[in-house]
Amino acid sequence: MVESETRGFKELVEAGARGLGIHVGAEAIEMFDEYRRRLLAANEVMNLTSITDDEGMAIKHFVDSLVCLLGPLGARYDSLVDIGSGAGFPGIVLRIMNPGRRTLLVESVGKKVRFLRDVCHHLGLDGIEVVQGRAEDLAHDQAYRERFDLAVARGVAALSPLAEYCLPFVRPGGWFVAMKGPRAEEELADGARAASALGGAAPVVTAVSLPLGHGERRLVSIRKESRGASNYPRKSAAIARAPL
């Protein structure tokens, strides 16, 4: 039996994070475990994740979410928005690690929104706002536009459309971090053009190897240098038809 098979979820998270130079305290570990249990229970009645084993959950969801802390901004932010939050990764994990930070979870699917609100309630995560809606609409709401130090996205969209969806939420001086796979460099040219049109600097790439051979992660970070034009983001159909 390999070593990882002898360790439980909590040990795997703690060891995996430590291997990346990230300390996770005992209280956060317990909250992660409760979050995991609620996710697995909800997953019985709705499709939230295809990863259900202890090692996969620990590394591919929880430790992977912590990789955001290895970007240029690290934990030096007061407000965060997670675009397309899904089951809450990385937004809820980062909020547990950084209590008291303003956190907005944006999700368009109603059943996922209900799950996110339930988890936040049961974990006692006051101050997290969960909003059902599309990023291209919410980014034009003055309550959210250019109000955040950090925007994160873990989705599978290409970098150019992700930048258009996310950078309008970021205040000048803040950062947008896209969590990408090992082929992220192929998207940098298009991403840089989009970033420039949206008031962003050239993308910065941070390469990270996930523990236990679970693959490579690329954090693509874009600093917001100036306010973007008010017409961005466009509607999703326009973004898909004519990326920046």
Q: What is the CATH number of the domain that holds 93?
A: 3.40.50.150
195 in a domain, yes or no? yes
- DSSP letters, the chain, are --GGGGS-HHHHHHHHHHHTT----HHHHHHHHHHHHHHHHHHTTS---S--SHHHIIIIIIIHHHGGGGSTTTT--SEEEEET-TTTTTHHHHHHHSTT-EEEEEE--HHHHHHHHHHHHHTT-TTEEEEES-HHHHTTSTTTTT-EEEEEE-SSS-HHHHHHHHGGGEEEEEEEEEEE-TTGGGGHHHHHHHHHHTTB---EEEEEEPGGG--EEEEEEEEB-SPPPTT-S--HHHHHHS--
pLDDT, mean of residues 93-121: 97
92 in a domain, yes or no? yes
pLDDT classification of 126: cutoffs 50, 70, 90: confident
pLDDT, tens digit (0-9, with 9 covering 90-100), for 128-167: 999 999 999 999 999 999 999 999 999 778 999 999 999 9
pLDDT classification of 4: cutoffs 50, 70, 90: very low
Task: Out of 120-124, 170-174, 228-232, pick the least confident.
Answer: 228-232
Stated pTM of the model: 0.94
pLDDT at 193: 95
pLDDT at 18: 96
5 in a domain, yes or no? no
207 in a domain, yes or no? yes
pLDDT, mean of residues 42-55: 95
53 in a domain, yes or no? no
Residue 2 has pLDDT above 50, yes or no: no
pLDDT at 200: 97
If one counts the domains in the chain, the total is: 1
90 in a domain, yes or no? yes
Q: Residue 119: which domain range?
A: 74-241
pLDDT at 117: 97
27 in a domain, yes or no? no
14 in a domain, yes or no? no
